[in-house]
């Protein structure tokens, strides 16, 4: 039945309008192109081109089959490229855990470049809550992670700082704290605090952020934002999470009497010291490390 060379000759002739033009485009002899099309017509049992005019034109059957032939050629090209990538020992799947608190649009150009360079690698992006990106890498669920820097560095990881995120204290515009600014710790402690925290029961880092005896604990910083916007309490959240709501005036950045400078949290890129990364993983790791010079 039809082979790739015959289909290429058929499709290129249809696109270019003549056998000679198709031959020049493919860098082959005109007789090779003509023979490939003729053999294809013999195989399928009918003509694809009307040759009664100076230049061949598609028959009704040829027009009907052209889209199928183009699809088969594209699939053949993808198969060849995929096989080449596997032959180069490129991984087929890569998983990256990006802490919800640090996701930034500055990551999009890197991911776009990754898609272009490694079209046959399935990229899985996880968006864990606070401190859980490191746990996913530790458990082997993710190949690398981008996360708020932990206070203590666990063993078995490579770490690279790639930027900082500002921690902002926020509430809704009509929340009772707004007219009380600048706020003391005592004043804040009288109102409900919403705190994102890890699902890991052994992680008690959220307790260090606790300023009020009345708290709600939430896994997702984005759910936290919605609750703060609804006036249920106040929270201290990373700028990447609240920038949009602050710009839309759905949230207010509160002035604190006890902090006169921006509170910055480091952002770390983490990956296992023992887990093997293929070419795609190494490329992505280097690009993410390169963010250190620019900041995410």
Looking at the structure, tell me whether residues 106 and 249 fall in a common domain: no
Query: Which residue(s) pair with 171 in the sheet?
Result: 252
Last residue of a domain, one of 60, 87, 114: 87
How do residues 52-100 score in pLDDT, each as one tens digit? 888 888 998 888 888 888 888 888 776 765 565 555 556 788 999 998 8
Mean pLDDT, residues 171-191 taken together? 94
Last residue of a domain, one of 71, 87, 103: 87
Looking at the structure, tell me whether residues 37 and 184 fall in a common domain: no
Cα torsion 105, 110, 116, 122: sign: negative
* 28: exposed, middle or buried (Cβ count in 10 Å: 0-12, 13-18, 19+): middle
Looking at the structure, tell me whether residues 70 and 136 fall in a common domain: no
* Phi, psi (rounded to 5 degrees) for 128: -70, 165
HSE of 139, CA atoms in CB hemisphere, 13 A:
10
Distance in angstroms (rounded) separating the CA atoms of residues 71 and 81:
15
The CATH number of whichever domain residue 12 belongs to comes to 1.10.10.10
The CATH number of whichever domain residue 206 belongs to comes to 3.40.190.290
- In this prediction, residue 4 carries a pLDDT of 83
Q: Which residue is associated with the tokens 């996880």? A: 126
Distance in angstroms (rounded) separating the CA atoms of residues 108 and 30:
46
Looking at the structure, tell me whether residues 80 and 116 fall in a common domain: no
Which range marks the domain in which residue 237 is found?
A: 164-266
Looking at the structure, tell me whether residues 123 and 168 fall in a common domain: no
The secondary structure of residue 48, as a DSSP letter, is S
Q: Where would I find the beta strands (DSSP E) of 35-127?
A: 49-50, 57-58, 93-98, 122-126
Q: Is the pLDDT of residue 112 over 70?
A: yes
- In this prediction, residue 130 carries a pLDDT of 65
How confident is the prediction for the chain on average, in pLDDT? 85
Looking at the structure, tell me whether residues 122 and 9 fall in a common domain: no
How do residues 28-47 score in pLDDT, each as one tens digit? 998 998 898 888 888 888 88
Q: Is the pLDDT of residue 206 over 70?
A: no
Looking at the structure, tell me whether residues 152 and 275 fall in a common domain: yes
Looking at the structure, tell me whether residues 134 and 214 fall in a common domain: no
Looking at the structure, tell me whether residues 272 and 125 fall in a common domain: yes
DSSP 3-state assignment of 99? Answer: coil
* Phi, psi (rounded to 5 degrees) for 113: -65, -40
How do residues 191-205 score in pLDDT, each as one tens digit? 999 998 877 666 666
**Residues 63 and 49: beta-carbon distance below 8 Å:** no
Provide, rounded to the nearest whole percent, the portion of the chain with pLDDT above 90: 28
DSSP 3-state assignment of 274? Answer: coil
Last residue of a domain, one of 54, 87, 120: 87
- In this prediction, residue 219 carries a pLDDT of 83
Q: Is the pLDDT of residue 249 over 90?
A: yes
Looking at the structure, tell me whether residues 199 and 150 fall in a common domain: no
Looking at the structure, tell me whether residues 257 and 278 fall in a common domain: no
263-272/144-148 β-pairing: antiparallel
- In this prediction, residue 296 carries a pLDDT of 47
User: What count of other Cβ atoms lies within 10 Å of the Cβ of residue 6?
Assistant: 21
Looking at the structure, tell me whether residues 192 and 231 fall in a common domain: yes
Q: Which residue is associated with the tokens 């204290």? A: 169
Distance in angstroms (rounded) separating the CA atoms of residues 148 and 134:
9
**Domain count of the fold of the chain:** 3
- In this prediction, residue 101 carries a pLDDT of 83
- In this prediction, residue 80 carries a pLDDT of 66
- In this prediction, residue 156 carries a pLDDT of 65
- In this prediction, residue 147 carries a pLDDT of 87
- In this prediction, residue 75 carries a pLDDT of 80
Instruction: Give the highest mean pLDDT range of 79-88, 158-167, 249-258.
Output: 249-258
- In this prediction, residue 180 carries a pLDDT of 95
């Amino acid at each position: 039945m039809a082979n790739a060379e015959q289909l290429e000759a058929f499709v290129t002739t249809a696109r270019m309008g003549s056998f000679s033009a198709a031959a020049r485009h493919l860098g082959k002899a005109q007789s090779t192109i003509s023979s490939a099309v003729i053999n294809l017509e013999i195989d399928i049992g009918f003509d694809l081109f009307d040759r009664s005019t100076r230049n061949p034109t598609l028959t009704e059957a040829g027009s009907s089959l052209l889209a199928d032939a183009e699809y088969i050629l594209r699939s053949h090209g993808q198969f060849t490229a995929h096989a080449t990538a596997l032959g180069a020992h490129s991984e087929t799947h890569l998983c990256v855990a990006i802490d919800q608190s640090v996701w930034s649009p500055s990551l999009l150009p890197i991911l776009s470049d990754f898609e272009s360079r490694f079209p046959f690698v399935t990229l899985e992006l996880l968006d864990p809550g606070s401190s859980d990106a490191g746990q996913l890498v530790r458990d082997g669920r993710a190949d690398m992670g981008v996360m708020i820097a932990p206070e203590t560095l666990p063993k078995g990881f490579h770490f690279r700082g790639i930027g900082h995120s500002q921690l902002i204290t926020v509430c809704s515009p009509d929340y009772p704290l707004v007219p009380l600014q600048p706020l003391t710790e005592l004043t804040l402690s009288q109102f409900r605090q919403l705190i994102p925290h890890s699902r890991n029961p052994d992680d008690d880092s959220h307790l260090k952020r606790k300023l009020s005896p009345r708290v709600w604990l939430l896994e997702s910083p984005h759910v936290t934002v919605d609750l703060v916007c609804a006036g249920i309490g106040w929270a201290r959240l990373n700028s990447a999470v609240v920038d949009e709501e602050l710009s839309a005036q759905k949230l207010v950045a509160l002035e604190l009497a006890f902090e006169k400078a921006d509170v910055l949290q480091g952002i770390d890129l983490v990956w296992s010291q023992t887990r093997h990364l293929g070419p795609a993983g190494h490329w992505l790791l280097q690009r993410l490390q390169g963010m250190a010079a620019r900041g995410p």
